[in-house]
A and B are shown apart, each in its own frame.
Chain A
């Protein structure tokens, strides 16, 4: 090892990429050559300055984060629909008959989701985490469910905490609020089983009002004993311009109100 051969080793030496033997040889040379030792010191310093500065790069914007996974979800459910389509086209005759009963069936299924959410809320299961912040709650659910949990920002409600719960066959995030009144919010992933759109619908079950709405592949169900007037204050996104399409089958109706947009839950703001 001499000053010239150090050149070939300097970059891997600084990166810790030399094998033991070569590293020892470099260090032996540095111990005996002040010029090279000085040079290595400068190089090492400069490299660490550059690395430190270079790593202060920008973070992914939240909108990108959301849209990246939304695209994956859309792709995933498209694939599932394709599969379902292939199966059903093999039995097109059967499918047609099923279609006729479909509306009634879906409305009935929806009722069962409402009922189950109300039932589980009424049982007051112990919470697994107790923090009021929507961010903490979202972070706590991170990775526990196969969808991202966006906690709606209700301007006047304070969360007590959260836990995992089922709503029928769905693994759901459950967030309990203690004020202004006890309420429970279920958030679960669903492709097409629950017949609800982005416009909140109010039904009632077991003495509770259940507000349901959907955001993409995620369904929200808010179980509460607030009456419709107070609900309107709380979930002001709940405005409807047309009657519920399934009025004859279940008592659910869209809420009528014209709220200020900024008061809508964050999950409904797009």
Chain B
């Protein structure tokens, strides 16, 4: 019967010890996925609870962090995405050849200019905001690759998509991210003043 095979106190201790080091990264990723602290907390809570329920299915010695993130992204996709009404790319463009759109000329044919150099002092807040602005499928691979530093193979396993898809989403996601950041850099000559102006606007609004 479901749930009859109960876990021991030692199982629970092992589980807590294994999950604990990854709570910060789970939460940081959940915030990027949900773009909302409150929902991020719920997402982490659900993720850990599901991980606990399936803990006996986890093969000890294999990649626990990747296993946790698979649960995180699945949980997000199943419950949270439904409510956020975000459109998936999967349906439209990805039915066509991944390769064809991956290397389409619009994003790749121009040479890189020196102006495309991101400033070293680009604010973390801006980058995070720019990530939040990405469509969900791009956002997921950027989070997994650039925030969590998973390999393509691991990301493919986590998201259940081919490695080629991981690569193409990452390529396009990063392009879009850079474009946003460069545009911001070019319009903001003095980020401090703009930040204050932003706060003022927020207050007024």
Q: List chain A positions with a Cβ less than 8 A from chain B.
A: 7-8, 10-12, 15, 17, 35, 38-39, 42-43, 45-47, 49-51, 53-61, 64-65, 67-69, 71-73, 75-76, 79-80, 82-83, 142-143, 145-148, 189
What's the Cα separation between A17 and B19 when bound, in Å?
Answer: 28
Chosen A-B contacts, 10 in total, with CB atoms closer than 8 Å, are A11-B174, A15-B170, A46-B117, A50-B178, A53-B126, A60-B44, A64-B45, A76-B12, A79-B6, A82-B3
B31 within 8 A of A: yes
B157 contacts A by Cβ under 8 Å: no
Judge whether A146 and B27 touch: CB under 8 Å: no
- In the A-B complex, the 9 residue pairs with the smallest Cβ-Cβ separation, listed nearest first, are A146-B13, A57-B28, A53-B127, A60-B27, A56-B124, A39-B112, A79-B6, A53-B124, A60-B23
In the complex the two chains form, is A50's CB within 8 Å of B127's CB? Answer: yes
Say which size band chain B's interface belongs to: 35 or more
| Chain B interface residues toward A at CB < 8 A | 3-4, 6-7, 9-10, 12-13, 15-17, 19-20, 23-29, 31-32, 37, 41, 44-45, 48-49, 52-53, 102-103, 108, 111-112, 114, 116-120, 122-124, 126-128, 131, 142, 145-147, 149, 151-152, 167, 170-171, 174, 177-178, 181
B49 and A42 within 8 A (CB): no
Q: Let me know if B147 and A57 touch, CB within 8 A.
A: yes
| B contact residues around A45 at 8 Å (CB) | 117-118
A232 to B178 alpha-carbon distance, docked (Å): 62
B112 touches A38 (CB 8 A): yes
Residue pair A72, B24 in contact (C-beta under 8 Å): no
Given A46-B178, A50-B146, A143-B17, residue A39 in contact with residue B111 (CB < 8 A): yes
Report chain B residues within 8 Å CB of A146. 9-10, 12-13, 16
| Cα of A142 to Cα of B19 in the assembled complex, Å | 13
* Additional A-B contact list (11), CB under 8 Å, known A47-B174, A59-B24, A72-B48: A11-B171, A12-B152, A38-B112, A50-B178, A57-B31, A64-B44, A68-B45, A72-B49, A73-B12, A76-B7, A82-B6
- B128 and A54 form a contact (CB under 8 A): yes
